[in-house]
């Protein structure tokens, strides 16, 4: 079951790994690899992983190839 992400809200938008996969098509094993290599911004609370949408957007923008 997926929740609709409201991008018009003023609160930060947090994605779990499944939501990141659904929105950006970054596979779960790839996410884990990027986290271990410190290539992707993420937050961890206990054993739960979260991605802040605004940080992911900046990360993707920084990978732009001219």
The pTM (predicted TM-score) of the whole model is 0.81
CA 15, chain centre distance (Å): 6
The secondary structure element, H or E, covering residue 52 is strand 48-52
pLDDT greater at residue 6 or residue 1? 6
pLDDT digits (tens, 9 = 90+) for 9-60: 689 999 999 999 999 999 999 999 999 999 999 999 999 999 999 999 999 9
Q: Nearest to residue 10, comparing CAs of 58, 60, 48, 54?
A: 54
């Amino acid at each position: 079951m997926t929740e609709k992400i409201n991008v018009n809200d003023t609160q930060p938008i947090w994605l779990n790994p499944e939501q990141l996969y659904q929105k950006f098509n970054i596979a779960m094993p790839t996410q884990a690899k990027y986290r271990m290599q410190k290539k992707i911004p993420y937050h961890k609370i206990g054993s739960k992983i979260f991605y802040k949408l605004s940080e992911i957007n900046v990360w993707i923008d920084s990978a732009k190839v001219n």
